[in-house]
Amino acid sequence: MLSVVTASGLAATACSSLPEGSKPVSGVYSCGQLEIAVSGTEDSNLISVDYLDRRILLKPAESASGALYVAPGDETTRFWSKGERATLAIQGQTYPECLPPGGLEMPFEARGNEPFWHVTIEGQALLLTRPYEEDGTRRIPVELQTANRHGREFVATLDDLPITLTVARQLCEDSMSGAQYPAQVRLAVNGGEFNGCGGDPQRLFRGAEWVVEDLAGSGIIDRSQITIKFLEDNRIAGRSSCNRYTGSYKLGDEGIAFGQVAITRMACAPALMRQEDRFLNLLASVASAKIGRQGELRLSTQEGDTIRAFQSDHVSP
């Protein structure tokens, strides 16, 4: 059952109006790992944003560009969209750029190995380092040829040679580093095809609350809770069994590293405190982060110990 979140003053906003000639936005988006559905109503200018087990009602607000909606009484909860671009913040927490099915964040980067190649799409321009030509990057016009729920296809021409860049929104693992990316990419240059990965890898982890179910092969104490949230500005936060914690992380091609965490100082039963210490010690030693075959988060140390977590299906209090 959906929980409808409202704020004081909602009834008074029913007469708020959109700019003349505009319509309430609607659509399905992926804000990192958070899936949302945005819909308007026929009898008012309010929109609803549905996610997990929640529904937020938003009213139109002034914006220099695009369509902006905010929660009555809480301007830190807002949704903005313009064309395919959209952003979402809930109670001050900003999510990754919200993309329609098959959409790409901009700028979009992709690369491949053996031979090395690299592309960046910025608006209507393609920055290309061609295979076997690592010394120079060329900037050329690019056109979007195909757009569907699976991905995007772009076409360009360089020195009279046809270029096609096909992007599929499927998990991709770099053939050299093993790092994961949210998109599989194929670059075709004059008949030759080269495979690689693309997109912002943080989209694989951000936008969800990950609930830990296993610590290095051992389950979690019944009714205890260990969670991990990857936030903006390379921050993390969550519950560690007894206490809450915050910290930082750094994600790169070579893996992930977590910085020192700050933790509240509540005291709990000895078993919970031992579980908390074990989790925090493992987290400090994590060297890689991957998404498993069942969609689970796998944080592994160099010794092979793994923290395994799944996405929560509801909003935690």
Decide: pTM greater than 0.85.
yes
> Which residue ranges of the chain lie beneath pLDDT 70?
1-24, 41-43, 134-135, 317
3-state secondary structure of 273: helix
> In the prediction, which pLDDT does 109 show?
98
Q: Where are the domains of the chain?
A: 3-99, 108-201, 208-311
Q: What pLDDT, on a 0 to 100 scale, did the predictor assign at position 8?
A: 36
CB atoms within 10 A of CB 53: 12
At the topology level, CATH places domain 208-311 in: Lipocalin (2.40.128)
Q: Do domains 3-99 and 108-201 have the same CATH topology?
A: yes
Residue carrying structure tokens 């809450």: 244
Q: How far is CA 75 from CA 41, 50, 71, in A?
A: 21, 18, 6
pLDDT confidence of residue 26: 84
- As a whole number of angstroms, the distance between CA 156 and CA 119 comes to 12
Query: pLDDT tens for residues 170-207?
Result: 999 999 999 999 999 999 998 899 999 999 999 999 99
pLDDT at residue 23, rounded to an integer: 56
Q: How far apart are CA 53 and CA 34, in angstroms?
A: 12
CATH class of 108-201: mainly beta
Topology classification of domain 3-99: Lipocalin (2.40.128)
Give per-residue pLDDT as tens, 72-124: 999 999 999 998 889 999 999 999 999 999 999 999 999 999 999 999 999 99
Return the pLDDT at 302: 95
Residues written for the chain: 317
> Quick one: pLDDT at residue 96?
97
Cα–Cα dist 150/103, whole Å = 8
pLDDT at 111: 96
